[in-house]
Structure 1
Amino acid sequence: MLGIAAAVLFFIAFLINAAEIATNDVFASTNVMLIGLILLALHVAGIGNGRRVGRR
């Protein structure tokens, strides 16, 4: 689930950058991309994947 959220944030960051949309400092494309990288790192670490190993 976090991987999908990261992909959505990367797409939003791309649109902000490609369209050169003027945003405030909080929603700048770099900040959105960094939030996406945090979510991707959490997904790779195994947090939020929804699977429980060892349980039936």
Structure 2
Amino acid sequence: MLAIVAAVLFFISFLINAAEITTNHVFSSGNVMLLGLVLLALHVAGIGSGWAGRTRRR
């Protein structure tokens, strides 16, 4: 799930950069890209990748 959100943030960052949209300092292209990288790193680390269900042993 976090990887999908990261991909969306990368796309938004690309649009901001390609269209040369002027934004404030919080939503600049670089900041949105860094948020995407943080989410991607969390996904690779295993956080937010899904629920680890309990297994029953008999």
- TM-score normalised by the chain length of structure 1: 0.93
Q: Distance in 2 between matches of 1:8 and 1:51?
A: 22
Identity of aligned residues (%): 75
Q: Which letter does structure 2 place at the counterpart of 1:35?
A: L
Deviation of residue 51 (structure 1)? 3.3
The number of residue pairs the alignment matches comes to 55
Q: Distance in 2 between matches of 1:52 and 1:46?
A: 11
**Aligned residue in 1 for 2:31:** 31
Moved over 6 A (4+): none
Residue segments in structure 1 that go unaligned for 5+ positions in a row: none
**Aligned residue in 2 for 1:42:** 42
RMSD across aligned positions (CA): 1.1
Residue segments in structure 2 that go unaligned for 5+ positions in a row: none
Deviation of residue 6 (structure 1)? 0.2
Deviation of residue 29 (structure 1)? 0.2
Q: Distance in 2 between matches of 1:10 and 1:2?
A: 12
Please give the secondary structure, in 1, of the residue aligned with 2:50. coil
